[in-house]
Structure 1
């Protein structure tokens, strides 16, 4: 799967025909602290039971705190046949540092 840092992600999504889905696999308490707009929260531990809530025909960007859990989620989704899966390298923390300093860090 592709791994994109925040600035690469911004460029990549500009070239898409439709907006990607943002799948945040952090725990609910983490998601409550900060998130990308329009992202959905399915904690990694629940993904195997809930991945049918994600449209497998649309691009999916997996997000977590630093990019490790989301890497596991992206690998799982690819294994399940999702067409285009991207991991946000560095996670929401890198996003806050490099793309949107208004996003709180923790």
Structure 2
């Protein structure tokens, strides 16, 4: 199964054009506090199974982590759980910081 990928620059355009796009950050709270994309929602990867009911399976969603590995795992889990409109941020918050918003710290 392949997961849809979105680049940081594509995501920036989509955020501007799609105000209802849901940004799910699956990193740990300390990472999220250090660097995050505005209006993203934190649910750490290990909490997704127990917090699945907080998410809308029909809502368009982009999943974010540090470099794209944990978010890819989260995307696979969400798709297996019936979510139909899920994309992975390729390169994660690191790519966002280097390609779109250098005010977001890199780590």
Give the alignment's TM-score, normalised by structure 1.
0.91
Distance 2:13 2:103 in 1: 19
Is residue 2:63 matched to residue 1:89? no
Secondary structure at the counterpart of residue 100 of structure 1: coil
What does residue range 65-104 of structure 1 map to in structure 2 within 5 Å?
A: 65-104=66-105
Unaligned runs of 5+ in 2: none
TM-fit CA distance, 1:27:
0.5
TM-fit CA distance, 1:10:
2.7
* 1:13-67 Cα deviation digits (max 9, x unpaired): 5554x52111100001101101111111111011111121111111011000000
RMSD: 1.4
Distance 2:88 2:36 in 1: 15
**Which residue, 3, 10, 13 being the options, matches 1:11?**
13
Secondary structure at the counterpart of residue 22 of structure 1: strand
Q: Which residue of the partner structure matches residue 41 of structure 1? A: 42
